[in-house]
């Protein structure tokens, strides 16, 4: 099995770690913009993980249907606003945490879009700020569903 196939078959948590490993390497090679894209990807995968957990705990929808909703929601902002926040309605602790994390997600998404959609470059400080936001977001969101989760720093 090649690397791509192994990645496709990985769990969301394994994919988050893989993205984190990749962004660490990119950042160390001073590829600031690419590191931002990987940080944003890790954050979006964390959102997928949370949404999948919410659906699994409260419905019997199959994986293909939930995946179609993730595609429909389109991006971290859509996934948070169209799926995760409505799914967490009535769960005070989750809603409070999501309010805090939504601000991080907004900053991550803004930086990612500047790089991806406008071709902008980023410097080390901007990259580090986005990576910090992504780390806060990923750890905060995933720990709501898996309290033992950690990101292994490479």
DSSP 10: S
Low pLDDT (below 50) residues in the chain: none
Q: Is 88 among the domain residues?
A: yes
Q: Is 50 among the domain residues?
A: yes
Q: How far apart are CA 148 and CA 53, in angstroms?
A: 15
Q: Is 3 among the domain residues?
A: no
What tokens appear for 80 in the block? 């948070």
pLDDT, one tens digit per residue, over 84-127 is 999 999 999 999 999 999 999 999 999 999 999 999 999 999 99
pLDDT reported for residue 153: 80
Q: Is 85 among the domain residues?
A: yes
Q: Is 2 among the domain residues?
A: no
Q: Is 154 among the domain residues?
A: no
Q: How far is CA 53 from the centre of its chain?
A: 14
Q: Is 148 among the domain residues?
A: no
Q: Is 80 among the domain residues?
A: yes
Enclosing domain of residue 78 = 12-143
- What total number of domains does the chain contain? 1
* Residue 127 neighbours by CB under 8 Å, 6+ apart: 27, 32, 33, 35, 36
């Amino acid at each position: 099995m090649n690397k791509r196939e192994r990645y496709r078959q990985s769990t969301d948590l394994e994919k988050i770690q893989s993205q984190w490993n990749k962004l660490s390497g990119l950042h160390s090679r001073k590829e600031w913009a690419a590191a931002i894209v990987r940080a944003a990807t890790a954050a979006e995968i964390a959102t997928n993980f949370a949404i999948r957990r919410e659906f699994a705990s409260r419905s019997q929808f199959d994986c293909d249907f939930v995946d179609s909703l993730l595609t429909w929601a389109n991006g971290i902002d859509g996934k948070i606003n169209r799926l995760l926040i409505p799914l967490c309605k009535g769960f005070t602790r989750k809603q409070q945490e999501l309010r805090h994390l939504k601000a991080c997600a907004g900053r991550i998404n803004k930086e990612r879009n500047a790089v991806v959609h406008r071709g902008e470059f980023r410097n080390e400080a901007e990259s580090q700020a986005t990576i910090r936001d992504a780390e806060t977001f990923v750890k905060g969101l995933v720990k709501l569903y898996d309290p033992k989760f950690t990101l292994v720093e490479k």
